[in-house]
Amino acid sequence: MSAANDTSTQNEDAQAKQEKNTTRESILVCWGRTWEGLDTRQSKSRDGIESVADGQAQVRDRYSTKHSTLNISRVHRHSTGFRLVEPGELKYGVRTVASHETAQP
């Protein structure tokens, strides 16, 4: 396989992974962002993204130690979905990046 074919295959794979991790509103779900649950049948939760892979996000409730897995397909602005929380809305500010990690947009 030539280097050009290998590069194009890698680009296609990266694009497919990014599409799996993107909401219906074209927002990329990535580490460090906070999402608020909109389901009125449950108390409002604010979940911080710990990691994202293959259309699934590992989340942690911002104000407790509860961990769970969230399907990216559920991350949309709907009565049972989620909305992106702006940093100014957070009571204790935005999450910082550890020295061994890099921030993702």
Interval 31-72: pLDDT, tens: 888 888 888 887 777 888 899 988 899 988 877 778 889 888
pLDDT tier for residue 23 given thresholds of 50, 70 and 90: confident
Q: What is the pLDDT of residue 56?
A: 92
CATH topology of domain 3-89: SH3 type barrels. (2.30.30)
Question: 93-102 — which CB contacts under 8 Å span 24+ positions?
Answer: 94/32, 95/32, 95/34, 95/48, 97/32, 101/31
> How high is the pLDDT of residue 57?
92
